[in-house]
Amino acid sequence: MASSSLLSLPEELLFLWHTHRLEILLSAGVLIACARLAIHWRQTRRKAVLTPPLGSPVDEKVPIVTKNDLVEAEHFVPIPTAPGAVKSAEKSGPKRVTGVKKTRRTAKQDSIDSKDGDEVTIQPLIFYFSLGGSTKAYAEQLRGVLSNNQRILEPVLHDLTEIDYDDFFVSPPKSTSANTVYFYYFLIPSYDISTELDNLLDHLKETHHDFRIDTAPLSGLAGYAVFGFGDRQEWPSEEAGFGKDAVAVDKWMARLTGGKRAFPLGMGDVRSDVEERLQEWKTGVSGILEEVSQGKGLGEGAPGAGEAIESGDEDDEDDVPAITQSKPTRPKRTTRSQTSDLEDLKGPAPIPVDFTTAAPKAMVPTTSPTYTSLTKQGYSIIGTHSGVKTCRWTKSALRGRGSCYKYSFYGIASHRCMEATPSLSCSNKCVFCWRHGTNPVSTTWRWKVDDPNDIFDGMKGAHLRKIKTLRGVPGVRAERFEEAMRIRHCALSLVGEPIFYPRINELLSLLHGERISTFLVCNAQHPDHLAALNHVTQLYVSIDASNAESLKRIDRPLHRDYWQRFLRCMDILREKRCTQRTVFRLTLVKGFNIDEEAEGYAALVERARPSFVEVKGVTYCGTSTSQGAGLSMQNVPFYEEVSSFVLALESALKRKGLDYGIGAEHAHSCCILLADRERYFLEDGDGVKRWHTLIDYQAFFECLESGKEFGPEDYVGAATPEWAGWGRGGFDPRDERVDRKGRRIEDKS
């Protein structure tokens, strides 16, 4: 029975197969699919461990992976670890997975490694930052010191405000030959105000913390060395901030290069020992370069250099390390890879500081040298970021000796005008600006925001106090003094960038509320702020060049996308032309932005269609900055040169079908006004056409107070005075002309 039933089994199976083969086949298919899915899922999980999604927090707990797992992931390779490191990691719990993009490492690092012992060619790059011009001069001197060693190429100079950080500080630049490596010199002054150096430091820090990038992406460099400039009189110690920015650059470069500090951080006091210290440092670094070029690597016999990783400062991520002295210190670790892993083993990764959540600081604290410097120059600082200054024309007008060009062009009596700014900070470093080294520069607003009511009251108070002090000045006319006590106009242009102030519209309302007209000048670098700006009496945009290259040379903007920003501002101005009186202000600097540029300026006028184009010759201020930028009296155009340029521009505009004509001039300020003929060359009651560049201020305020839409045509004033017309000079004959020494000038016309 048992055997017969056994024998009958195949038949039963056959029977089963015949009757249920469809079900059997389907079930087998499902089983195989499940098995394959399970295998695939297990593999994907392994890979996912190695490739955290973008934006995942750096300190997120990640399961420990083995070396084999890392090998399986084709696009990542592990940083080699010290033998004991993994063990201790296993004990210490959570750990960060450190991965390097294979391409990044192989491209440069491997080439350096293979050069060990071989001679290499070094391309030194000198990076410098300079607001006042002195560091730039030292950088140029350093470039001039040439090595006799043919393996050390002529250094290339880079102004840190003019380069794209990504080209140099995410990975080393591509070298021209396989055997050439880069060496970075840094010459860094310190500033206790916001400068573009802050952007560099942020960039270095972010690159280091970016988990998609190797923590030491610059390890392909031959090395780097930093020299700092500071002022020990004002900042007597490191704690007080002496050379603080150089210390920070040195710290981040140590991390990004995996500890390739070729020579200890040098530091010089600009008031005493800078030359001596710099010379020592230069000699030291040159010695190291010689050795590197002979394939000896860093730290071998270099006086004072120590090994590549010199101090324990890499232990503490966000603390600024102590300045390394010229004594060699014992290296704690010898390779970057060890450093990296030891950092990883300390526990969760450090949380990057979010600067936006830190309590905002004062832009110009009363204790800062900036404050001292500005007040010495006659500025009254209002609150923490605004300023007022009485201009020389206000004094001149009080004494009946003439007003500024805005009187001739628009009817602004200078003694009734207050010059102010709600933002002492700016995002340009124009070569002709005389405030360098004193005004803070920054691309974004990162300070405390003062209340507009306080600013308004503070501005008026400070301005009127200054006017009162002029009471006793010989020649001040009593009636003008009385008029001056009632402010009628505000020129928001003094220094910095007024539209940078986040509550500018509220400040404008306060000014208009007291029937104070507003002329606001901006630098065409903040399109969003410009678009959001409410009505002003006259809206200016500084146009210092007609093309991107020239603008960079003359304005030295901090924004990398400065030209796009500039063009966006042109388009916004065009949109505003129906609601605002818009003006292009051109400042002509001979040798910088005059030659061959009339056509380019005409194209910008065509794009933005401003009501007016004010053309003005630059005023030479003789600061070290202007000299550093190569500016001298030779760059100040004569009035005849400004006139020829204006005629060339007028013709260029005509060729484009744009009807602009010379509406007024003020030879004394070297300033000429081109105006849109269609809107401002109007027929008077006597049937004669005349220029009408003056403003009807009363009408402006009425329009504003009506709450209705209005445009520039609604407050066009009376005809421009004859004495301001083209060829007439623009000086009101009722005023008395005097020379610089106050001697009366007889009118020869």
The nearest distance, CB 525 to ligand FMN, in angstroms, is 21
Residue 476 beta carbon to ligand SF4: minimum distance, rounded to whole angstroms? 16
Task: Please state, in angstroms and rounded to a whole number, the distance separating the CA atoms of residues 269 and 479.
Answer: 53
Q: Which residue has the tokens 């070729």?
A: 262
Of 437 and 610, nearer to ligand FMN (C-beta) is 437
Q: What DSSP string runs through 259-323?
A: S-B-SPPEEEETTTTHHHHHHHHHHHHHHHHHHHHTT--TTSS-TTT-SSS-SGGGGSSSSPPPP
Which CB, 389 or 565, lies closer to ligand SF4?
389
Binding mask 435-474 for ligand SF4 (x = CB under 6 A): ----------------------------------------
User: How far is the C-alpha of 441 from the C-alpha of 188, rounded, in Å?
Assistant: 16
Q: Smallest distance, Å, CB 85 to ligand FMN?
A: 39
Q: How far apart are CA 642 and CA 648, in angstroms?
A: 10
Can residue 393 be called a binding residue for ligand SF4 (CB under 6 A)?
Answer: yes
Q: Report the distance separating Cα 23 and Cα 17, nearest Å.
A: 9
Q: Please choose, from the candidates 224, 256, 244, the residue with its C-alpha nearest in 3D space to the C-alpha of residue 127.
A: 224
Torsion of CA 412, 416, 419, 422, to 10 degrees: -110
Binding mask 183-222 for ligand FMN (x = CB under 6 A): ------xxxxx-----------------------------
- CB 187, min distance to ligand FMN, A: 8
Picking from 460, 392, 468, 451, the residue whose alpha carbon sits closest to that of residue 669 is: 392
Determine which residue in the list 394, 425, 611, 625 makes contact with ligand SF4, applying CB under 6 A: 394
Q: Token digits for 637?
A: 């155009």
Tokens of 374: 């500005």
The per-residue b/e assignment along 177-199, b for 16 or more CB within 10 angstroms, e otherwise, is eeebbbbbbbbbbbbbbbbbbbb
- Nearest distance in Å: CB 735, ligand SF4: 13
Computed from CA positions of residues 469, 471, 474, 479, in that sequence, does the dihedral angle turn out positive or negative?
positive
Q: Which of 196, 231, 317, 419 binds ligand SF4 (CB under 6 A)?
A: 419
Beta carbon of residue 61, minimum distance to ligand FMN (angstroms, whole number): 40
410 binds, among ligand FMN, ligand SF4, none (CB under 5 to 8 A by kind): none
Longest dimension (CA), the chain: 145
The site partner of 130 among ligand SF4, ligand FMN, none (C-beta below 5 to 8 Å per kind) is ligand FMN
Q: Do residues 674 and 650 make contact, with C-beta atoms less than 8 angstroms apart?
A: yes
Of the residues 122, 131, 382, 495, which one makes contact with ligand FMN according to CB under 6 A:
131
> Using CB under 6 A, which of 184, 186, 235, 393 touches ligand FMN?
235
Q: Does 230 bind ligand FMN (CB under 6 A)?
A: yes
Within 347-386, the residues that bind ligand FMN by CB under 6 A are 369-370
Q: Does 614 bind ligand SF4 (CB under 6 A)?
A: no
Q: In terms of CB distance, is 194 or 215 closer to ligand FMN?
A: 194
Do you know the residue count of the chain?
Answer: 749
Integer Cα distance of 109 and 99 in angstroms: 15
Which one of 78, 243, 411, 663 is in contact with ligand FMN (CB under 6 A)?
A: 243
Window contacting ligand SF4 (CB under 6 A); options: 98-106, 389-397, 450-458, 539-547: 389-397
> What single-letter amino acid sits at 710?
F
Given the complex with ligand SF4, which of 135 and 414 has the nearer CB atom? 414
SS3 615: strand
Taking CB under 6 A as the criterion, the residue among 190, 324, 414, 421 binding ligand SF4 is 414
Which residues contact ligand SF4 by CB under 6 A? Answer: 391, 393-394, 404, 406, 412, 414, 417, 419, 491
Which residues contact ligand FMN by CB under 6 A? Answer: 130-136, 189-193, 229-231, 235, 241-244, 270, 369-370, 437
